[in-house]
Structure 1
Amino acid sequence: MSSTEFADGKILASIQDGVGRVVFNQPEKRNAMSVNMWEGMGQALDIFAEDPGVRCVVLAGAGDKAFVSGADISQFEKVRNNADAQKEYDRLTSAGRLKLSTYEKPVIAQIRGFCMGGGLGIAMSCDIRIASEDSQFGIPAAKLSIAYGFDMVRALVDLVGPAHAHMILMTGERFDAREAERIGLVNRVVPAAALEETVAKLTATLAANAPLSLTTNKRTVKAVCADRADRDMAKIQAAMAACFDSNDYKEGRRAFMEKRKPVFTGT
């Protein structure tokens, strides 16, 4: 497994056994996201998107203290010191955010430690969130006199509902992994020692499943959550038809009849 560095080594990308892995590598700042880290994450995702051998992607933080603790506040005075600067910050980081939120392959957030603010936004943009028991969550916007964008708030409401979203946003307080699991913010909580193994088993399952089915079902779930006017039903129907016309569908039927594991190629 070789690793490629982006953002001056603060984003690490690697591929192994059909799984692309992005590591937020700024542990001295609890993996807080700088502007160039957003760009680096987008570059890593592009590599994985273009590689048909990559079946799913994992996002994780370096070390055991944080997934992503939020935006790099040390940059705020320079790049987010007023409303106009915030617009420019959004422009600089929007490409990476858009790539993650519209990514076609399955994305898993492997969460350990702090998952705060913009870091929680990253996790919410993933399809599945697995957290260690020692994880901490929160959106401290109210403690900084800032407001989060519509897309992030909508993602939060979609996951936990308006009542829990109000509590999270209005208090700005931290809450633990079990509370995150209770309100539906994460899929599963496991002991810290079992986090890597749990995610590895999950990615092995996804990597063995039919790629066309994974991407089509992901697209459909997103469409269900989107406004009716934003749903491209023709695209969804075409993707569904492609699944049924695929070589993989033939392989799946043959494997079932022959009582063996299917070997999918994404065609």
Structure 2
Amino acid sequence: MIDLARDGDLWIVTLNRPKKANSLTSEMLSRLIEIADDAAGEAKVFVLTGAGKVFSAGADLDEARAGLATSPLWEDLSGKIAALPSLTIAALNGTLAGGAFGMALACDIRLSDPSAKFFYPVMKLGFLPQPSDPVRLSTLIGPARAKMILMAGQKITAEEALSWGLVDRLVPATDQKEAVVELSLAALEAVPAHIAGIKALIQP
């Protein structure tokens, strides 16, 4: 359910559970954490994407009811991705929802299919978001817009997400692989210490 394609220093991780809208199980989250750990010493570019028409609907419903919605695995994963000393790209092939926000927010760059929707229904579901998600979301789009998503439960379009700064470029899912390669060229030609050094200067 998690596919890893390694092309030299370019790692592409695909959520591959399209019949369930790439909803995430604890097993999938654990595997993503393992891959992020491995990538820390090997990948110059780390890419997250999904199979099918949805990036991820968040937590698997059955496991969410059993406690996955508030599991520390989400925060562990987003923290691992944020700490990677590489260029990280979320190639959002479709809608991003719920707990899956964390891994996308932790990336350096976010591409989105123009048809994607973005929503994080924690107010409706009665859960608190993972601790770092509101902070990263607010940093990207500002406190009021973060509250529109997290508190007012608004579902926003890809065009809104682009204008707000939640995503950086709209790219149809069919063209995202090519776009990722183009964005990766400079980092793939650099030495790892240079990539990490520039990233450290940008990040607070």
Q: What TM-score comes out, normalization by structure 2 length?
A: 0.92
Using the TM superposition, name which of 173-182 and 195-204 deviates more.
195-204
Aligned residues: 204
CA distance in 2, matches of 1:149, 1:211: 30
C-alpha displacement of 1:162: 0.6
User: 1:19 deviation in Å?
Assistant: 0.3
Q: Which has the higher helix share?
A: 1
Gaps of 5+ in 1: 1-9, 225-267
The separation in 2 between residues aligned to 1:67 and 1:170, in whole angstroms, is: 22
- Please name the residue that 1:229 is paired with: none
Q: Given the alignment, which residue of 32, 35, 42 partners 2:33?
A: 42
Structure 2 Cα separation of the partners of residues 30 and 146 of structure 1: 21
Give % identity. 30
Whole-angstrom CA distance in 2 between matches of 1:76 and 1:42: 18
Residues 90-109 of structure 1 mapped to structure 2, 5 A cutoff: 90=72, 92-109=73-90
5 Å-filtered alignment, 1:57-206, equals: 57-63=46-52, 65-80=53-68, 86=70, 89-90=71-72, 92-206=73-187
Greater gyration radius: 1
- The reply to whether residue 56 of structure 1 matches residue 28 of structure 2 is no
Q: 2:4 is matched by which residue type in structure 1? A: A
Compare relative contact order (CA 8 Å, sep 6+) and give the higher one, 1 or 2: 2
* Runs (5+) with no aligned partner, structure 2: none
What amino acid does structure 1 have at the position aligned with 2:44?
R
Q: Give the RMSD, CA atoms, in angstroms.
A: 1.8
Change (3 A) 1:123 1:79: same
- CA 1:94 to 1:140, structure 2 compared with 1: closer, same or farther past 3 Å? closer
1:216-255 aligned at under 5 Å gives the runs 216-222=197-203, 224=204
User: 1:95 aligns to what SS in structure 2?
Assistant: helix
Distance (Å, rounded) in 2 between the aligned partners of 1:192 and 1:62: 10
Letter in 1 for 2:10: V
1:16 deviates by: 0.6
In structure 1, which of residues 18, 22, 26 is the aligned counterpart of residue 17 of structure 2?
26
The alpha-carbon distance between structure 1 residues 94 and 159, as it changes in their structure 2 partners (threshold 3 A), is closer
Q: Distance in 2 between matches of 1:20 and 1:170?
A: 35
